[in-house]
């Protein structure tokens, strides 16, 4: 009962600390997502680049990240009847285009395993997964990563290699560590000051008795001393035995 408050303080501290260790990337804009530690990805610059494309067999896939545009194939076919889309597949053999998705249908998040960010685009039966690879020494490059069409599924995999795909340092500010330290001292301060005021007013405590859980805190130095003495004795006993 006496150390309940102490326990809650430490439990709160641990919970906060553990929460920050997940690494979801929270999408802030079509091409921006932010990690819990403040690092972020920003591929918005790709909106101004030329339409990306890659061909495999009869299939050509056109991709315009971050914004929808009117996509026209080399042979002059308009994708999705001229509607603005972000990703489009053209089959040279059938002369048909398929809208694979728009920006609204695009989610930016981390790959499973949290290794790199991806765009995941769901449109009707189609699922397109675009792995974003950071590469500072090249122009932006778009590649079909799985056979098209893949047997029995409508899930396509692509690679987007780009200098825009790199993780960006957060602007200087408070780090997670310093926020936790400030929080810790705030909680500890509230615990002692709040406790002292409460005990003073409710129980009319005076002197050391105003300290919340003062039994525990006044015994703590003794417990620490006992611990040190115990450890020290233990090791000495150990070396005696060896001699």
Ligand X SMILES: *[C@@H]1O[C@H](CO)[C@@H](O)[C@H](O)[C@H]1NC(C)=O
Does 27 help bind ligand X (rule: CB under 6 A)?
Answer: no
Residue located via tokens 């994708």: 79
Residue number with CB closer to ligand X (44 or 56): 44
Strand order in the sheet with 96-101: 52-56, 59-63, 87-91, 96-101
Does 91 help bind ligand X (rule: CB under 6 A)?
Answer: no
Does 69 help bind ligand X (rule: CB under 6 A)?
Answer: yes
Exactly one of 6, 27, 44, 91 binds ligand X (CB under 6 A); that residue is 44
CB of 44 to ligand X, least distance (A): 4
Exactly one of 84, 91, 111, 146 binds ligand X (CB under 6 A); that residue is 84
Binding part of the chain for ligand X, among 2-10, 39-47, 133-141, 180-188 by CB under 6 A, reads 39-47
Strands 126-134 and 69-70: unpaired
Residue located via tokens 């997502």: 33
Dihedral angle computed from the Cα positions of residues 164, 172, 23 and 65, in that order, rounded to the nearest 10 degrees: -20
**With contact defined as beta carbons under 8 Å apart, do 68 and 31 qualify?**
no
Whole-number Å distance between alpha carbons of 106 and 43: 13
Whole-number Å distance between alpha carbons of 99 and 77: 12
CB of 19 to ligand X, least distance (A): 24
Exactly one of 38, 45, 149, 195 binds ligand X (CB under 6 A); that residue is 45
Does 53 help bind ligand X (rule: CB under 6 A)?
Answer: no
Residues in contact with ligand X by the rule CB under 6 A:
32, 42, 44-45, 69-70, 84
């Amino acid at each position: 009962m006496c150390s309940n408050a102490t326990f809650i303080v430490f439990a709160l501290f641990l919970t906060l600390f553990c929460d920050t260790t997940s690494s979801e990337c929270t999408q802030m804009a079509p091409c921006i997502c932010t990690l819990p530690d403040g690092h972020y990805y920003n591929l918005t610059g790709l909106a101004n680049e030329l339409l990306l494309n890659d061909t495999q067999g009869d299939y050509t896939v056109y991709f315009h990240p971050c914004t929808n545009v009117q996509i026209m194939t080399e042979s002059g076919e308009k994708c999705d009847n001229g509607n603005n889309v972000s990703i489009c597949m053209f089959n040279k053999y059938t002369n048909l285009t398929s809208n694979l998705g728009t920006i609204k249908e695009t989610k930016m998040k981390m790959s499973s395993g949290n290794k790199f960010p991806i765009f995941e685009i769901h449109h009707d039966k189609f699922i397109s997964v675009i792995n974003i690879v950071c590469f500072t020494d090249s122009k932006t490059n778009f590649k079909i990563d799985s056979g098209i069409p893949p047997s029995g599924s409508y899930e396509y995999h692509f690679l987007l290699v780009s200098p825009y795909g790199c993780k960006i340092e957060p602007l200087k500010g408070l780090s997670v560590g310093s926020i936790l330290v400030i929080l810790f001292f705030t909680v500890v301060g509230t615990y002692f000051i709040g406790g002292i005021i409460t005990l003073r007013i409710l129980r009319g405590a005076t002197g050391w008795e105003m300290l919340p859980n003062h039994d525990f805190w006044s015994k703590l130095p003794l417990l620490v001393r006992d611990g040190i003495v115990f450890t020290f004795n233990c090791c000495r006993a150990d070396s005696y035995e060896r001699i």
